[in-house]
Amino acid sequence: MPRYSYGGQALIEGVLMRGRDAIAVALRHPDGRIVWATERLDSGVHGTRWSRLPLVRGLVVLYETLFVGTRWLVRSASIQAAGTGEEGDEGVELGKTSIAVMLGLTLLFGVGIFFLLPLLIASATTANIQNGLVQHLVEGLIRVAIFLGYLLLIARAEDVRRVFQYHGAEHMTIHALEAGDPLVVNEVRKYPTAHPRCGTEFLVVVIALSIVAFSLVGRQDPAVMIGSRIALIPVIAAVGYELLKWGAKHRSNPIVRAIMYPGILVQMITTRQPSLDMIEVAIVSMEQALSADGEAWPAGSGALARDALVWPGSRGDVGESAAPVTIDPPLPGA
């Protein structure tokens, strides 16, 4: 079994797997083929001693995951929209600036909806209550309700349901790799769609930590409370990453398993049982991620046909890519 904990994310009709030094992507092309590509991770700090420090490593992984994930989410959607297999006609490549702007706007929206809106609602509804803990409890409950409501709402869309199926296929394939099983459909399909290092579970941990952290700030002037929510987000994310890694490592402990169980429950929304052809795509993505890191495939793997994805600036090989990644949550590993 590889020494590195592999993770990934679902794309539009595809799966991205993140390895030690590279990512691999496999997509179900509109013509039915499985196409793949790999890219080196090159965030500027990737692989340095700083990137391996506790707390810092979580922020590096999160940054890389968001940037790479956004890049390939757009690419995968473009490929499905184009629907052709002609060389150089897979879609239009987004530049780093475009991706940065897109991520910035998305993060601003997320911070506003999931952190500041609950604060404003809780402050207004508990203004006449002297006990500041009540406000923080209400704020936390509102944040949980918005989070779960958002997931349940988007899960109703057909395209999102398919993404959630690929999410399940990604997790099942990682389970098979970690168990040392051959990466074949019949072996992968026996595993659950939930995984203890999932990005969904990371978000659950972040929400729980935010309730604790913001309660320590206490009831302050509105400007201080708003500023604290924004300033503490990277701290909460860094601590959340470490807790998720620790929880995954000690999941055999019944107490740890019980504490982390809400994250598994929420994955009942964000993962779905995949079809067999979706599992095939996840397997190819994992195999190519292993190859990109110089790792051997488990015995009995490699039975699926695949073609290199021709993309502007990329030849489908990590050693020849002319478009290295500058930086999903994968989040800590799934």
In the chain, what is the straight-line distance between the N-terminal and C-terminal CA atoms, in Å? 16
pLDDT tens digit sequence for 224-269: 889 988 999 999 999 999 999 999 889 999 999 999 999 999 999 9
Helix, coil or strand: residue 18? strand
Going from the C-alpha of 258 to that of each of 11, 247, 264, 331, the distances in angstroms are 30, 10, 10, 21
Q: What is the pLDDT of residue 281?
A: 98
Provide the pLDDT confidence category of residue 135 given band limits of 50, 70 and 90: confident
Residues sharing a CB contact under 8 Å with residue 137, sequence separation 6 or more, in sequence order: 211
Q: What is the pLDDT of residue 86?
A: 43
Q: What is the pLDDT of residue 282?
A: 98
Provide the pLDDT confidence category of residue 128 given band limits of 50, 70 and 90: confident
8 or 321, higher pLDDT? 8
Q: What is the pLDDT of residue 176?
A: 96
Within the chain, residue ranges assigned H as helices are 56-82, 96-111, 117-125, 132-154, 158-179, 185-188, 199-217, 222-249, 254-270, 276-292
Q: What is the pLDDT of residue 316?
A: 45
Provide the pLDDT confidence category of residue 43 given band limits of 50, 70 and 90: low
Span 60-79, mean pLDDT? Answer: 88
Asked if 88 and 310 touch (Cβ cutoff 8 Å), the reply is yes
Residues sharing a CB contact under 8 Å with residue 36, sequence separation 6 or more, in sequence order: 24, 25, 26, 27, 284, 285, 288, 306, 307, 308, 309, 316
pLDDT tens digit sequence for 270-318: 999 999 999 999 999 999 999 999 999 999 999 999 999 976 554 444 4
Tokens 């899960």 appear where?
155
Q: Which amino acid belongs to residue 152? A: L
pLDDT tens digit sequence for 142-178: 999 999 999 999 999 999 999 999 999 999 999 999 9
d(Cα 289, Cα 292) in Å, to the nearest integer?
5
